[in-house]
Amino acid sequence: MIRGLYLAACSSLIALIFLCLAWELRLAPIQPGGSWLALKCLPLLAPLFGILNGRRYTYQWASMLILLYFTEGIVRATTEQGTAQALAISATALSLIFFCASVGYARLTRPSAG
């Protein structure tokens, strides 16, 4: 169970980083040729190594960070059209998967759980 949550969190975080970059640089940028909005993936790099190393504390605070991306995905899914809307729905799904996996991982690895 813990291994599955770990894999879900790692894969969804990495996928969200690549999705953010591809979305704003190639697939559906706000401005033709890409925009500075691609830098929104930088905060996702901060918890990456802690998540990959299974650090419980990183899972805890990253679950709060990811809510910003969930919110952005919901807003853009309801306001965008076409490809951008599909990308926003994908980002929302990835952030939701990461949130659930990280909360589950943090809960199952707490010291009192053993």
- Across the chain, mean pLDDT equals 94
Phi, psi (degrees; rounded to nearest 5) at 33: 90, 0
Residue 82 φ/ψ region, left for φ over 0, alpha for ψ in the -120 to 50 degree band, beta for the rest: left
- Segment 8-30, tens digit of pLDDT: 999 999 999 999 999 998 898 88
- In the structure, what pLDDT confidence band is assigned to residue 37 with cuts at 50, 70 and 90? confident
Is residue 10 classed exposed, middle or buried when 0-12, 13-18 and 19+ CB atoms within 10 A define those classes?
middle
Tell whether the model's pLDDT for residue 111 goes beyond 80: yes
Give the per-residue pLDDT at 73.
96
pTM: 0.93
